[in-house]
Amino acid sequence: MPDTHHSTDTHHSSISFIGPDQRVVFLKVDTEGNENHVLRGAMPYFAKNLIENAVVEITPGVPKFWEGAGTTPEEVVASFREVATYGYSLVSLHDWTICTTPDEIEKYIRKGWKGEREGGHIPGSKYFQQSDMWLSLNSVEGGGTNQLVEIVAKMKAASHKSPGD
């Protein structure tokens, strides 16, 4: 049985509780500002396309949140950019924006910083303080990016329905 002990040290260089070539169907990361440390530790798995989907909470509208974890906004963007170079797309669960390139991802995350400078999150605005970001492989078996676009369109439509619809 693998050791599943989780250390409070957020500066691990790898994910120690799964094997080096084990597939991960879904990874959820919400570590109160330490998300970049988890992404860095998971990077070998992203590089081998062993993580099929990951949802990572980020807080670009409150950069000081990351500073408390010893991370800069630039480091967070660099991590997301690197993940994208391995064939992953990003879907913002804030507004269902799909980003398929490192440049698109960086531009989208930086919008959150702009929102902070302009007063933070305003409901219905293009800026956000905090959002879950879904990272998904472009090469998902059976459809790739087109399948991702279809799934997001269905999720977006479902999120706008009334409970009785």
Report field, pTM of the whole predicted structure over 0.85: no
pLDDT (tens digit per residue) in 14-60: 555 677 888 888 889 988 888 899 999 999 999 999 998 899 988 77
User: Which residue did the predictor score with more confidence, 89 or 149?
Assistant: 89
CB atoms within 10 A of CB 149: 15
37 touches 7 (CB < 8 A): no
pLDDT > 90: percent of the chain:
21
Q: If pLDDT is split at 50, 70 and 90, which confidence band does 86 have? A: very high
**In degrees, to the nearest 5, what angle opens at C-alpha 17 toward C-alphas 16 and 19?**
85
The phi-psi region of residue 63 (left if phi > 0; otherwise alpha if psi is between -120 and 50; otherwise beta) is alpha
What are the residue ranges spanned by the domains of the chain? 24-159
Q: What does the pLDDT read at residue 12? A: 43
Contact 61, 128 (CB under 8 A): yes
